[in-house]
């Protein structure tokens, strides 16, 4: 089947280049650890971790589970199948998020395709189409929330290169919205075919497979558009994206002494590294790097920026680990009963 062959090729390409993302992440982590050790006393690190409110950490975990639930609802809508159980979709999202946070370069996305095919019998081409659609909505929601947080911070902070940041966010929002409009009108695949014809690569197998996936995405989006549920998907995406910074408002606001908008800005900037294919192994390096840069741009001292970045990353990994292990146990029970 062409989908399986395409996935196998992607896996092989990533396997050949995975050492680059690992090396990059390792260098950043070692640099940040060096800066942390030279700027923060070990007892201060221990005190900071002990100072976290355990009830807020637990509440943050429930917020994380809420975000998974909203993503499960969104997948149910995009897959256009009301017979799918939320229970199964919740499990798939929890496990795929867990694997995504472990593997570099977003290769964990393949786990969603595999699990949706095995557990709820979604064909690979439908799964790939739904995954592409929700990632576009993720980009739109993050761009909107990031833009709102910058507008909120504008009067309080002299953000460096604010104009450039706004331009980048508006560009991301424009690109993602344009791609969504092009896909839902069925013009994106046509454009790809025309470009391939101009470059004389239309007959290439890889191009044909990409066009087939785009056709499937466009078909799904046309169905969604006809049912007038775009606003519903945008709202679900905004809520699921907002849970990412609500968690750290609960867990880290007292430690960092910053407000809601500042925490939203830092978290959303960091979350971009989780969506783009620059994610390193376990996210180490890329996550902390983005967190530190965003924090220091708001005037957070470097030692606090590095310390909070490591704590945020560890807390996030524990959340995904908890939900992921729970989801894996459910999957084992399901397969055992079959």
Range of weakest confidence among 133-142, 182-191, 276-285: 276-285
Other residues' Cβ atoms within 10 Å of the Cβ of residue 49: 14
pLDDT of residue 250: 92
Give every CB contact of residue 161 below 8 A, 6+ residues apart in sequence.
Answer: none
**Of the ranges 20-34, 180-194, 233-247, the best mean pLDDT one:** 233-247
Q: How far apart are CA 186 and CA 183, in angstroms?
A: 5
* pLDDT above 70 coverage of the chain, percent: 67
Tell me how far CA of residue 231 lies from CA of 148, 236, 237, 324, in angstroms.
Answer: 18, 9, 10, 29
The closest alpha carbon to 176, from 130, 140, 217, belongs to 140
Average pLDDT over residues 170-174: 66
Q: Is the pLDDT of residue 7 over 50?
A: no
The closest alpha carbon to 304, from 51, 88, 2, 124, belongs to 51
The pTM of this model reads 0.77
Give every CB contact of residue 93 below 8 A, 6+ residues apart in sequence.
Answer: 68, 71, 72, 75, 112
Helix (H, G, I), strand (E, B) or coil at 306: helix
Tell me how far CA of residue 146 lies from CA of 8, 115, 149, 161, 168, in angstroms.
Answer: 35, 31, 5, 15, 11
Q: How far apart are CA 109 and CA 112, in angstroms?
A: 5
Q: How far apart are CA 167 and CA 188, in angstroms?
A: 24
pLDDT of residue 156: 67
> Which of the two residues, 150 and 224, has the higher pLDDT score?
150
Q: How far apart are CA 144 and CA 34, in angstroms?
A: 35
pLDDT of residue 27: 62
Tell me how far CA of residue 119 lies from CA of 64, 82, 111, 127, 309, in angstroms.
Answer: 23, 16, 12, 12, 36
Range of weakest confidence among 29-38, 107-116, 187-196, 309-318: 29-38
Residue 88: alpha-carbon gap to chain centroid: 20
Average pLDDT over residues 213-233: 70
SS3 content of the chain, % helix, strand, coil (to 5): 85, 0, 15
CA atoms within 13 A on the CB side of 212: 15
Q: Is the pLDDT of residue 20 over 70?
A: no
Range of weakest confidence among 25-29, 51-55, 152-156, 255-259: 25-29
- 70 pLDDT tier (thresholds 50, 70, 90): very high
User: pLDDT digits over 38-51, tens only?
Assistant: 666 667 777 777 88
Q: Is the pLDDT of residue 4 over 60?
A: no
- DSSP code string of 266-314: HHHHHHHHHHSTT--GGGTTHHHHHHHHHHHHTT--HHHHHHHHHHHHH
Specify whether the CB–CB gap between 294 and 269 falls below 8 A.
yes
pLDDT of residue 11: 44
Specify whether the CB–CB gap between 108 and 96 falls below 8 A.
yes
- 59 pLDDT tier (thresholds 50, 70, 90): very high
What element of type H or E holds 110? helix 109-120
Specify whether the CB–CB gap between 22 and 285 falls below 8 A.
no
Tell me how far CA of residue 88 lies from CA of 71, 95, 118, 282, in angstroms.
Answer: 12, 11, 11, 25
Average pLDDT over residues 250-266: 88
User: pLDDT digits over 76-121, tens only?
Assistant: 888 877 778 888 889 889 988 888 777 765 666 778 888 888 888 8
Tell me how far CA of residue 41 lies from CA of 36, 52, 255, in angstroms.
Answer: 8, 18, 16
């Amino acid at each position: 089947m062409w989908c399986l062959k395409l996935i196998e090729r992607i896996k092989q390409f990533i396997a050949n280049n995975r050492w680059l993302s690992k090396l990059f992440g390792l260098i950043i982590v070692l640099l940040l650890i060096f800066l942390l050790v030279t700027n923060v006393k070990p007892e201060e690190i221990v005190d900071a971790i002990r100072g976290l409110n355990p009830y807020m950490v637990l509440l943050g975990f429930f917020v994380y589970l809420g975000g998974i639930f909203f993503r499960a609802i969104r997948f149910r809508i995009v897959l256009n199948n009301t017979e799918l159980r939320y229970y199964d979709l919740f499990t798939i999202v929890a496990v795929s998020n867990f694997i995504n946070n472990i593997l570099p370069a977003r290769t964990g996305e393949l786990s969603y395709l595999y699990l949706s095919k095995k557990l709820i019998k979604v064909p690979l081409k439908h799964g790939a189409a739904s995954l592409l659609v929700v990632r576009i909505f993720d980009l739109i929601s993050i761009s909107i929330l990031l833009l709102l947080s910058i507008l909120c911070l504008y009067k309080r902070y002299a953000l460096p290169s604010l104009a450039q940041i706004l331009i980048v966010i508006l560009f991301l929002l424009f690109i993602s919205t344009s791609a969504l409009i092009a896909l839902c009108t069925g013009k994106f695949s046509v454009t790809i075919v025309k470009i391939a014809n101009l470059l004389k690569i239309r007959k290439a197998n890889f191009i044909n497979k990409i066009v087939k996936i785009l056709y499937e995405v466009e078909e799904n989006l046309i169905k969604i558009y006809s049912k007038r549920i775009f606003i519903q998907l945008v709202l679900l995406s905004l809520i699921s994206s907002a849970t990412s910074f609500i968690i750290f408002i609960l867990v880290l606001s007292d430690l960092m002494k910053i407000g809601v908008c500042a925490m939203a800005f830092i978290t959303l900037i960091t979350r971009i590294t989780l969506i783009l294919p620059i994610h390193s192994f376990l996210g180490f390096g890329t996550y902390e790097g983005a967190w530190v840069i965003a924090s220091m741009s708001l005037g957070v001292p470097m030692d606090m920026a590095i310390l909070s970045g490591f704590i945020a990353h560890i807390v996030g990994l524990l959340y995904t680990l908890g939900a992921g292990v729970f989801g894996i146990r459910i999957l084992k029970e399901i397969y055992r009963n079959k």
